[in-house]
């Protein structure tokens, strides 16, 4: 049995860089080819400040530190592995991806709540770009064996 | 045209089966910057592929009154009953579970039940879309 982490404990911090190349790759992998994520002209015509990252790319990348934490937990005696059972976010701000610089996204994963009975650990993600929060109420629930 | 209020409660037919191939998991995991893109477990947000296919049915239906260019993704949530792994064959059934006005816009909640080839529910993907009204002519 894995020891449950303390509420408030920091699990991981990570800074990632999203460039237009990452946006193209996410478009190909997900099938979301909306041009606001690729073409500056289209993005500006839509009233956006520039090409923006897919919200789902930010959401997908932001949970990766938790995926890594979960992968490092020990399975149960009967082989049951730790698992992410729920993950939700609000898309509160756009991540503008500069053609040259891209965008830096900072992810901090912290234990928000621990249920000793169900062994469900809630991990709260703080996700910022240009020093502003881009995902609201970003919470991951992990079943810990 | 405003968003059709009769959409509330509407269930759409199941999507065509989507095969979870090693190549698609690898491509998706790489795209979301996974540390181990060769893992056999699909990333937590992978069910968006099924949700997107289901949403495409909703957004392609002219009776909804939804103009795609005015749709903003407001919230997303995934709940799973087991991990999705390479070899799964998934379908999604979308239901519009909530609609409410947000100023001149409409907030629409679309819940997609994701099932495996045996018909077992493996995930629920919930999207909240914020749909703006067309400008007055």
- A145 touches B: beta carbon within 8 Å: no
Across chain B, where does the E strand assignment appear? 18-19, 71-80, 89-102, 105-115, 121-131
The predicted structure's pLDDT at residue B134: 63
Q: Where are the domains of chain B?
A: 5-20+49-131
Query: What is the average pLDDT value for chain B, to the nearest integer?
Result: 93
Chain A residues near residue B71 by CB distance under 8 angstroms: none
pLDDT at B137: 37
Closest CA to A20 of A31, A8, A28: A28
pLDDT band at B136 (very low <50, low <70, confident <90, very high): very low
Superfamily of domain B5-20+49-131: Hotdog Thioesterase (3.10.129.10)
State how far the Cα of B47 lies from the Cα of B34, in Å rounded to an integer: 16
3-state secondary structure (DSSP) of residue B3:
coil
Contacts of B73 in chain A (CB under 8 A): 55-56, 91
Is the pLDDT score of B66 beyond 70?
A: yes
Name the pLDDT band for B69 (thresholds 50, 70, 90): confident
- Cα(B43)–Cα(B25) distance, integer angstroms: 8
Interface of A with B in 122-141 (CB under 8 A): 140
- The closest alpha carbon to B49, from B74, B81, B69, B23, belongs to B23
Residue with tokens 């965008």: A103
- The mean pLDDT of A78-95, rounded to a whole number, is 97
pLDDT for the residue numbered B102: 87
pLDDT mean across residues, chain A: 96
Task: Tell me what the mean pLDDT of segment A60-86 comes to.
Answer: 96
Answer yes or no: is pLDDT of B128 > 80.
yes
pLDDT digits (tens, 9 = 90+) for B17-33: 999 999 999 999 999 99
Rounded-to-integer distance, Cα B58 and Cα B109, Å: 12
């Amino acid at each position: 049995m894995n020891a449950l982490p303390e509420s408030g404990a920091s699990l991981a911090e990570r800074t990632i860089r999203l460039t237009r190349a990452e946006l193209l790759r996410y478009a190909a992998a997900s099938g979301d080819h909306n041009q606001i994520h690729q073409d500056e002209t289209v993005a500006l015509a839509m009233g956006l400040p520039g090409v923006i990252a897919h919200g789902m790319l930010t959401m997908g990348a932001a949970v990766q530190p938790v995926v890594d934490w979960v992968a490092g937990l020990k399975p149960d005696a009967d082989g049951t592995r730790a698992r992410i059972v729920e993950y939700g976010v609000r898309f509160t701000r756009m991540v503008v991806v500069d053609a040259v610089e891209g965008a830096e996204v900072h992810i901090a994963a912290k234990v928000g709540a621990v249920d000793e009975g169900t062994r469900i650990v809630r991990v709260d993600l703080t996700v910022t770009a240009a020093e502003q929060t881009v995902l609201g109420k970003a919470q991951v629930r992990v079943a810990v064996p | 045209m405003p968003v059709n209020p009769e959409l509330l409660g509407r269930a759409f037919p199941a999507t065509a089966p989507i095969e979870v191939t090693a190549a698609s998991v690898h491509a998706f995991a790489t795209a979301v910057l996974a540390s181990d893109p060769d893992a056999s477990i699909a990333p937590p947000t992978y069910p968006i592929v099924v949700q997107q296919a289901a949403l495409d049915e909703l957004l392609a239906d002219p009776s909804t009154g939804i103009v795609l260019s005015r749709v903003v993704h407001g919230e997303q949530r995934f709940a799973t009953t087991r991990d999705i792994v390479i070899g799964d064959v998934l379908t999604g059934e979308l239901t519009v579970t909530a609609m409410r006005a947000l100023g001149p816009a409409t907030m629409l909640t679309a819940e997609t039940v994701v099932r495996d080839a045996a018909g077992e529910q493996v995930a629920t993907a919930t999207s909240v879309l914020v749909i703006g009204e067309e400008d007055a002519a």
